[in-house]
Structure 1
Amino acid sequence: MQKIIVLDDNEDILEAVSLVLKRKPLEVVALRDPGELMNNIPSHEPALLLMDIFLGKDDGRRICRSLKDNPSFDQLSVVLFSAQTYTPESVEASGADAILDKPFSVKTLYKIIDQLAISPGMVK
């Protein structure tokens, strides 16, 4: 079963996205604290990381860039999402594989996951 880590400091968003993903054959690891991420990636070996850009004091773009610069994690697909304003250049510089603007549709979320992490046809 494919694993996905979802990181968002907003409990409501985290719960909603996790519930939507759990409808499919996916194992979801939900995290609120960016500090827990580096311990969870090696132990869970996710196919994909869904992460908010604005995480309180942390910035998902910075975290993404550090993952992409680390040879141990550079193959991890990362999708950033945000309801706030960001520059496309900052997302590109982060190395993220995709960006979703909140609110996003379930269909759009599944399409991105299907493209980046899951065997074709597994998530519809």
Structure 2
Amino acid sequence: MIDTVPASAFDAAALNTTPLKVLVIDDSHTIRRSAEIFLHQGGHEVLLAEDGFDALALIDEFEPALIFCDILMPRLDGYQTCALLRRNPRFAQVPVVMLTSKDGLFDRARARLAGAQDHLTKPFTKDQLLQAVARHGPLPG
């Protein structure tokens, strides 16, 4: 299942943020939906993908500025998805934040080795998600 909603439906200026295109990859409908709601409230345009295969099939047209990616997914997990993105010159520099229920040192190290910039532990709050966008999104100007 993949959905997009234009950021124009929300007022990013009122939230003092630069609207970004954000890709959220997670096999949990609840996590995808929560992230979508929070990101829209932050004024961002969102593309949702159920797994790495779905994301890789759509990423060329969407051209996200930031990617949130679950680690544990069927077919293509988050580590594999991130590693494939890093091998593609068009997306090698796009920040990837891993979404995980695992917060161990090994999991964080493995995410970094795959090319992720950060991780966010699930369940996350709206503030945590939008702070991650502010930390890893492109600088304005």
- Does residue 76 of structure 1 match 2:130? no
Query: Which of structures 1 and 2 has the bigger CA Rg?
Result: 2
Three-state SS of the structure 2 residue aligned to 1:50 is strand
Check whether the contact 2:52–2:75 (CA below 8 A) recurs between aligned residues. no
Q: Which structure: greater strand fraction?
A: 1
| Counterpart in the other structure of 1:23 | 41
Q: Give the secondary-structure state (helix, strand or coil) at the position aligned to 1:91.
A: helix
Equivalent residue, structure 2, for 1:93? 113
Percent identical residues: 28
Q: Deviations over 1:62-84 (max 9, x none)?
A: 11012112212101111101113
Find runs of 4+ consecutive structure 1 residues off by over 3 angstroms. Answer: none
5+ residue gaps, structure 1, are none
SS at match of 2:97: strand
Q: CA RMSD in A?
A: 1.7
Partner of 1:115: 135
- Cα drift, residue 101 of structure 1: 1.1
The partner residue of 1:105 within 114, 125, 129 is 125
Kept in 1, the 8 Å contact 2:38–2:129? The answer is no
TM-score by length of 1: 0.86
1:71/1:33 CA distance change after superposition, 3 Å: same
Please list the CA deviations of residues 70-108 of structure 1 after superposition, one character each: whole Å capped at 9, or x if unmatched.
212101111101113652221121110110111223222
Assess if the C-alpha contact under 8 Å between 2:86 and 2:92 holds in 1. yes
Question: CA 1:74/1:48 → structure 2, altered by over 3 Å: closer, same or farther?
Answer: same
The match for 1:45 among 42, 47, 63 is 63
Change (3 A) 1:115 1:84: closer
Q: Indicate if the aligned counterparts of 2:25 and 2:51 stay in contact, CA closer than 8 A.
A: yes
Equivalent residue number for residue 78 of structure 2: 60
* Contact kept? 2:51, 2:77, Cα under 8 Å: no
Q: When the two structures are aligned, how many residues end up with a matched partner?
A: 120
